[in-house]
Amino acid sequence: MRFLRLGVMLALIIGLFVAALPSMAAQGATIDSLVVNTADCTLTVTFTVQDAGDYYVQIWDDGVLEYAVGGATAAGATVAYTMTIGPVAQGAPGIGVYIYSAASGGTYYDDEDPYNPDFGNCSGSEWTAPVAASADCPNPIPAGFVVRSIPAGALTFFKASMDAYTGFNLPAGETWYTGTAEDGFVEVWIACQATNVFVPAENVIN
pLDDT higher than threshold 90 for residue 200: yes
**Can you give the CATH number for the domain in which 187 is found?**
2.30.30
pLDDT digits (tens, 9 = 90+) for 126-176: 888 765 556 667 777 776 677 788 999 999 999 999 999 999 899 888 778
pLDDT band at residue 100 under the 50/70/90 scheme: very high
- Domain match, 107 and 157 both: no
pLDDT band at residue 22 under the 50/70/90 scheme: very low
> Which residues are registered as beta bridge partners of 29?
49
**Is residue 139 situated within a structural domain?**
no
Alpha carbons within 13 angstroms on the beta-carbon side of residue 7 total: 4
> What is the distance between the alpha carbons of residues 99 and 149, in angstroms, rounded to a whole number?
21
For 138, counting Cβ atoms within 10 Å of its Cβ (0-12 exposed, 13-18 middle, 19+ buried), the class is: exposed
Question: Residues 17-32: what's their mean pLDDT?
Answer: 64
Name the average pLDDT for the chain: 81
150 vs 51, 56, 188, 201, CA distance in Å? 30, 19, 10, 10
**Can you give the CATH number for the domain in which 73 is found?**
2.60.40.4070
Contacts by residues 130-138 (CB-CB < 8 Å, ≥ 24 positions apart): 130/42, 130/82, 130/83, 130/84, 136/71, 136/79, 136/80, 136/81, 136/192, 137/69, 137/70, 137/71, 137/81, 137/192, 138/192, 138/193
**Is residue 123 situated within a structural domain?**
no
pLDDT digits (tens, 9 = 90+) for 27-54: 899 999 998 888 778 888 889 999 988 8
The percent of residues in the chain predicted with pLDDT above 90, rounded, is 34
> What is the distance between the alpha carbons of residues 59 and 77, in angstroms, rounded to a whole number?
21
- The pLDDT of residue 77 is 85
81: nearest Cα among 97, 100, 105, 57: 57
Residue 171 is part of which domain span? 146-203
- Domain match, 47 and 94 both: yes
- Domain match, 111 and 151 both: no
Do residues 202 and 193 touch, judged by C-beta distance below 8 A? no
pLDDT higher than threshold 50 for residue 11: no
- The pLDDT of residue 131 is 53
pTM of the model: 0.55
